[in-house]
Structures are given as structure tokens and as C-alpha cells.
Amino acid sequence: MGQGKEVKTRPDPQVEIQERGEIFFFYRPKVNKEEAHSVDDVQRLYIVMRPESGENPTEEKQDPLSGKEGSDKDSGDATTSASGAKNQGGEGGHGVEVEKVNIEKQLLLRFIVMGKKSLPDPSKKSQPFWGFVEMVTTNVEDVKTALKGEEYETKTRGHRHKPPARAVGEGIYRILRHKPSPTRKHHTHLVYKLEFPSESQNRAQEPQESMNIEPEGSFLIQIRNPEQGGGGGRSGFGGLQRKRRAHFPAHLQAHLGHTRFGAADPPDFLNYEGCELLLISASDDIEEELGMELEPEGDGDISTCDLLKTFGDDVEAIPLLRGTWE
């Protein structure tokens, strides 16, 4: 499918594209439930983002040795990019090691866990939903592992089964810088448009509707300042424990200043595990709100499904392709 394209429908909309890419949605049924038949059976909603181009084709991410990426890899001072060049880790301030990734040439995946089992309701535009970046990796196998099921034992409940995640949506996204007027401070949007399930299927798409995964959507996206007190606050969540919060390099931390939440500008904030974010519903009609339309490259045919190409048979895809729970 690829990153698709955007088409401006109004002259000079106050919108600047920061990042383009693909977006995938997954859900995991509750423990000991092999299948979900309604949102009540869902344990978690995940978002996986794959940036592919933007204002700056080279983005910074946390050093792989400081996070969950490729925990079985040999340690070393450099990693090899898709172009074969060595990306030397560098000090980013605050004692944070960073790695340069050319998103136009090298795979980069962000695995985001949402605090609720759905996206924000488009009809409730003032209610923020909290989430956090669980993992950032250049190795697709890391995400495949995160989506798998698991058998484990607990002292109080004995044997437990965590079922594998299901794919429920695939589309294209943009992170936008939006300044609606000269007197207002700019903010950032995450907008997306689905390609799968295809609207041409004319099906109910019950899982998507139950989790507010609309055919297209626009959210204000805000980054939580890890150096400020409090948690998710108005989103109804306490946030991550301090030791799990992101440690941004100095130049990124400076963008947040002393505010509790700031714009996702640059999108590199999302390349650090423990980055906490808020999504606030803005619209389910991107053209009406922002004066642009997103156009996926494919035609809804299964042969163009990049989620299946990327994750293969490791992910159950019935909700994605049929728009049904199972």
C-alpha cells in the first residue's frame, strides 16, 4: 500500500506535513479468552506506526541498547542501516544515547499501547485518551513477538493464557503541524485513513465501530512532559511510573519547557519508549476540518495489504479483512 498521498482541497490551508507513513491497529482479547465477540472481550488496543517520509527523512530514536529492541542482539557501538551505512550512537543530552534512522530507507516501527479499548469517540471532542510508546524498533520480529500469545503461571490464579493479537485496521497517516490563526499557538494532529477493511466491502465492520476506528479520523496529539508532575490527569489515567517514563535528549526536552503537555513537534518524540501521549478527537472528516484528503495507494485488494506482507501469518487478520470479530 505504501504511504499514499495527500491532496489539498482548499487554497493555502494552515497545515504543514511533518511525517507520512502507514498505521496498523490491533486488539488483544482478554486473558483466557481465545476469541473476542464484542468490545467487552477486548483487553488492549495497540497502534503500530511505520513512518516512511517527512520534513526530515532522518529521525532520531533511542539507542537500541537502552530499550526493548532486539534484546537478543549482540551489544555494540553501531548498527547497520538498510543502505549499509553505520549509524553511530551519539549522546543527546540528559545522558540519553540516540541513533539516527533514515525512515525513507530503513524500517522503523513504533508500538503504542492505548489505555482504553478504543480510540476517542468523534462526538466527544474534549475527552483525551491516554497511551504510551511501549517499543520502538527497526526489527519487525520485535513487534511480531509483542503481538504473540503467551502461556504463564501465577501464584493466585494458576495457569493463564494470553491470546495473540488480532489485526483490525490498516491505513495511511500523517502527523501535521496546524496553526489555525496567527494569534493561536500551533498544535499537532494525527490523521489517518483506512484502506482495510475496505469500505467497498459494504459490511458492518462491527469491531472497528465498537472501538471507534472510523474509516478516517483526526486527533490532536500531545506529548506528556516526563519532567513535570502528575500523570495522564484529565485523560483519567495516572500515567506511567517515573522509572518507566521516556528520557528525551536535551534538545527535545527543551521543546516541552515547563508545560505538562506539548505538541508532537518534531515527531521524534514518539521514537522513545515510555513517551506518554494524549489523543483528543478532532474530526471524522479530514477534508472538512483541515482542507485536505488522504488517498491510499491501493484499491482495497488483499494483494496490496502491507500488514500481511509485513507480519505474515503471525497475526490473525479476519477482523481486518472481513470486518467481523472472528
- Residue-wise pLDDT for 147-164, tens only, equals 998 877 787 877 788 899
Q: What percent of the chain has pLDDT over 70?
A: 86
Q: CA nearest 194: which of 211, 212, 170?
A: 170
Average pLDDT, stretch 131-145?
96
- Dihedral sign for Cα 213, 174, 223, 102, please: positive
pLDDT per position as a tens digit, 7-53:
988 886 688 999 999 999 999 999 988 889 999 999 999 999 999 99
Instruction: Find residue 263's DSSP bridge partners.
Output: 222
How far apart are the C-alpha atoms of 118 and 161, rounded to whole Å? 23
Mean pLDDT of the chain: 86
Confidence of residue 68 (pLDDT cuts 50, 70, 90): confident
* Omega cis (within 30) before 197: yes
By the 8 A CB rule, do 313 and 196 touch? no
How far apart are the C-alpha atoms of 24 and 319, rounded to whole Å? 12
The structure's pTM equals 0.89
Under 8 Å CB-to-CB from 193, ≥6 apart: which residues?
4, 171, 172, 215, 216, 286, 294, 295, 296
Confidence of residue 78 (pLDDT cuts 50, 70, 90): very low
Give whichever of 2-11, 93-102, 208-217 has the largest mean pLDDT. 208-217
Average pLDDT, stretch 180-208?
82
Annotated domain spans of the chain? 5-322
pLDDT per position as a tens digit, 201-239:
656 789 999 999 999 999 999 999 999 875 545 544 678
